Amino acid sequence: MRIGGFTKQSFIDWEGKTTAVIFTKGCNFRCGYCHNPELVYPELMERSEDIPETEIFDFLSTRKNWLDGVVITGGEPTIQKDLKVFIVNVKKMGFAVKLDTNGSSPEVLKDLLKADLLHYVAMDIKTVLEIESYQNICRVKDRQLLLKVEESIEILKESGIDYQLRTTAVPKFHTKEMIDELQKEFSYCNYQVQEYRETK
């Protein structure tokens, strides 16, 4: 996997758990408000060397009795071709796995869940489920995008595992009506609205 960042200990990335957090390089979205452009834009990604998987596994082997789990985030982890093998190896070490995703790869999500590799999934709901609004934020031309996001939501609903849907509310992109609509639509599950924080 292409890994651009690694937090050795976090108490905030998986509620109630002490975790290591792995940031994968590369994303198929181009959200205008992204806080991790160095994990998204190829020209920025190549400015830093990838962290070797061996470095991650060597560290994890020293924390088996300390960490509860590993969070895999990005970028967008589901575009990594060897994500599944990586998670299998993390699980073999005895760690629970949380996956953060933008929901654009339902087939990957389904495959990981079918293989019983995930303990928790946090999925972004970028905005109301309407193609123009979604494309406006993600800046992705794929007209199938919304169908993929909706399919990922259905997969999580059927999965039986704990999951969270979440929206980062950005004044430039979201109206109060949109947030109200989202809260109503996802009132059946753990849905969170996060406040966008300016970085500069």
Q: DSSP E strands: which ranges in 135-181?
A: 162-169
Could you tell me the strand order of the sheet in which 96-101 lies?
3-10, 19-24, 69-73, 96-101, 120-124, 162-169, 191-195
| CA distance linking residue 174 with residue 93, whole number of Å | 41
Nearer to ligand SF4, 89 or 135 (CB): 135
Nearer to ligand SF4, 19 or 24 (CB): 24
- Nearest Cα neighbor of 22 from 65, 52, 61, 66 is 52
Nearer to ligand SF4, 31 or 128 (CB): 31
The tokens for 147 are: 């169908």
Q: By CB under 6 A, name the binding residues for ligand SF4.
A: 27, 29-31, 34, 36, 40, 74-76, 102
CB contact set of 194 (below 8 Å; sequence gap of 6+)? 166, 167, 168, 169
Nearer to ligand SF4, 34 or 179 (CB): 34
Shortest Cβ 76–ligand SF4 spacing (Å): 5
Shortest Cβ 194–ligand SF4 spacing (Å): 11
Shortest Cβ 102–ligand SF4 spacing (Å): 4
